[in-house]
Chains A and B, each alone.
Chain A
Amino acid sequence: MLAFHTLALCSLLVTSAWSAEPRILPDFGLVDLTGKKHNPAAAKDNRIVVYVYVSIDCPIANFYQPTLRKLAQKFEKQGVRFYQIHSDPDLTPKAARKHTRDFDVVSPVILDPTQKLARAYKAKVTPEVHAITRDGSCIYRGRIDDTYTAFGKRRPEPTTRDLDAALTATLAGKKIEVPVTEAIGCQIFIED
């Protein structure tokens, strides 16, 4: 019930970054491509978990891989953990491993063939990021930055780096200016 409560809030999104209500980040029993188990709430030094919904063949998601690597490295020491989630019932571990190598992915890569994560957090597209604090509050949801303004419309440089700004603000104990944005990308197909 508690997990359901926090999830509902997450998908609706809370605007206050730090809620006084005691909650926990649910354990989805995540296993990465190397077989390692992950329960982000159990590790004490995790302050924020960022679930990034990706795909091996969405050009927009792939375009962001170098940016995601830099963000994961930039915030690692401050206790921010990035996880790349493939919510694709057809994806084989072999294809995912090739993608991980080709795009030099440094974060743990999680296959979500039953799509429990995508369903729970109502993820819509790849790439879409959900930044969640240890207490289960979803502090930011949406795009990584505003490089893409529409399909095929790409700025030479982003003018706002929304995920970076949200993480920076939260770590500094400040309010996030824009906690929800619309991610542009490829729709995640949810099996019936």
Chain B
Amino acid sequence: MTKHLAPLLLLALATPLAAKVTFNEHIAPLVHQNCTGCHRPEQSGPFSLITYRDVKKRSRTIEEVLLDRYMPPWKPVNTNIHFANDRRLSEKEIKLFSAWVEDGAPEGDPGKTPKSPEYPSGWYLGEPDLVVTMSGQFDIPAEGKDIYRSFVFPLQLSEDKWVKAVELRPKAKSAVHHALFFIDTDGQARKRDGSDGKAGISGMGFLREADPSAAFNGSGGLGGHVPGATPAKLPGDLAMFLPKGSDVVMQTHFHPSGKKETEQAELALYFADKAPVNNLVAIQIPPVFGATKNINIPAGEKNYIVEDSFTIPVPVTAVLVGGHAHYLCRNMKMTATLPGEKEMVLLNISDWDLDWQDRYHFEKPIDFPAGTVLKTRLVYDNSAGNPENPFSPPRRVRWGRQSTDEMGSVTLTVVPKGKSQGDLIAKAQRQQLFSGANKAIEQARKTFFNVKGYDRNKDGLVQEDEIPQRMRNRILTRFDKNQDRVLDAEEQPALQEYLNGILGGRVRSRAR
């Protein structure tokens, strides 16, 4: 008897999928755990995925988006590092769902109907210490291009605060794609707010001319809001510094959804009781989103690479990583090489999508000794084959703050031991930033600001078509004295002197 049963038992164990997959037993837990957080009433998901009927009706669409890895939204494809906020489904889970769909999406034992998951009403993280409302209302049209706009949340804090978490409640739920929070310490954003007659500040860049690293420094920011990401407080005693008198600026990305919507978000802040022992420091590579990397991508270029590296001068513990780039970026990678060891991949995004910018928290914080080399590699595709190319046909794209310009960097947020150690990182980054800026100026000095450099055919004359197009008319009007559309040896020195003047001005303004 047992002789006959054993093989059957083995067979049953070896093929678990042979057992009938049902909603009540298998699919409900999977969906409730991974989808329902957003796909429930009043959340960012466009429809609810709670009941058997909800899921059955959409089973084929769900299967498609799972196989496509569009849902749940999760961009990193690292295999070596685990993130605490990982939302990626396993191959096995996706196969389970496909098997269920294949079998006609059966409900299963009605007695085993799972309870709908419960979510806290009100704010996810409980009673906030402060709730602020966006200054003004912004109307999002039903159609048109994506909108990038920054909004001000006046805080009016009379003392410095340390922030453990922020939580956003957008009103225009189907149009708000994501938001990033920055701190404005001197009221500049409030001054610019509404200057075009609508609430907020137009465009992507709330990047400050005077001190870009401060405005975009992760330690000076408050993180972001991504649909579906669960708000979480920073671990241990870690907190983000929020100086008194500052405002929060929310850079928002809207997708027009087909109907008109109005945004006036609420932001909840959760404070720490006291200052943390160690500060968070953001290491952005390349710094200032690649402003010094001379990003200049020819039309049609499929594989434009931007690389940069930084050697961490002091021991640190890395807690999270995230990246930023615009539409042309395809791949984004950050690696760390510990002294005498092999390279490890910290973040690998093989299909970058501006729509899903998240911050990835390491499940176990990683210790890096001094001398660890961080490297970023970004790949851009400016060909017509990149469907996200904002230009058709493709155009040359340079570094800039508009969404149709390009930029890019990966930011690693670390905790150094003690404040002085953090200052050393900032100092090393500043040095690198200025050496990068100097290199860019040196490059420009040899080409753009050098009349001899214009003379590509080396005939001693600068023909009209050898003058950079953007300056051609201005230069000819001013320096082509005999009006023959050619700058000869007599006309060139005045132009060189003029170019030296511009460059000198630039150098001074950079050094200020």
- Tell me the A residues contacting B by CB distance below 8 Å: 57-59, 62-67, 90, 102-104, 149-157, 159, 186-187, 189
- Chain B positions 45 through 78: 1 when the CB is less than 8 Å from some CB of chain A, otherwise 0: 0110000010011111100110010110100000
Task: Give bound CA distance, A104 to B258, whole Å.
Answer: 9
Which residues from A are CB-within-8-Å of B146? Answer: 156
When the two chains form their complex, are residues B390 and A66 in contact, meaning their CB atoms are under 8 A apart?
no
Task: Give bound CA distance, A59 to B353, whole Å.
Answer: 18
B160 in the interface (beta carbon within 8 A) = no
When the two chains form their complex, are residues B70 and A102 in contact, meaning their CB atoms are under 8 A apart?
no
Which residues from A are CB-within-8-Å of B257? Answer: 59, 62-63
> 13 A-B Cβ contacts within 8 A?
A59-B46, A59-B174, A59-B257, A62-B46, A65-B142, A149-B387, A150-B68, A152-B353, A156-B390, A187-B61, A189-B56, A189-B57, A189-B58
Partner of B259, one of A67, A104, A156: A104
When the two chains form their complex, are residues A187 and B355 in contact, meaning their CB atoms are under 8 A apart?
no
Contact A187:B70 (CB < 8 A) given known A63-B257, A65-B259, A152-B355: no
- Tell me the B residues contacting A by CB distance below 8 Å: 46-47, 53, 56-61, 64-65, 68, 70-71, 73, 142-143, 145-146, 174, 256-259, 327, 353, 355, 387-388, 390, 392
Q: Closest 5 CB pairs between A and B?
A: A66-B143, A62-B258, A187-B60, A151-B70, A149-B387
Closest to A103 in B: B259
Q: What is the CB-to-nearest-CB distance from A48 to chain B, in angstroms, rounded to a whole number?
A: 24
Task: Give bound CA distance, A4 to B70, whole Å.
Answer: 39
Task: Give bound CA distance, A65 to B143, whole Å.
Answer: 9
Q: What is the CB-to-nearest-CB distance from A102 to chain B, in angstroms, rounded to a whole number?
A: 5
Closest to B351 in A: A153
When the two chains form their complex, are residues A151 and B65 in contact, meaning their CB atoms are under 8 A apart?
yes
When the two chains form their complex, are residues B46 and A153 in contact, meaning their CB atoms are under 8 A apart?
no
When the two chains form their complex, are residues A65 and B64 in contact, meaning their CB atoms are under 8 A apart?
no
When the two chains form their complex, are residues A187 and B58 in contact, meaning their CB atoms are under 8 A apart?
yes
When the two chains form their complex, are residues B47 and A57 in contact, meaning their CB atoms are under 8 A apart?
yes
Task: Give bound CA distance, A103 to B61, whole Å.
Answer: 23
Task: Give bound CA distance, A58 to B60, whole Å.
Answer: 13
Which residues from B are CB-within-8-Å of A58? Answer: 46
Closest to B174 in A: A59
Partner of A67, one of B59, B73, B143, B392: B143
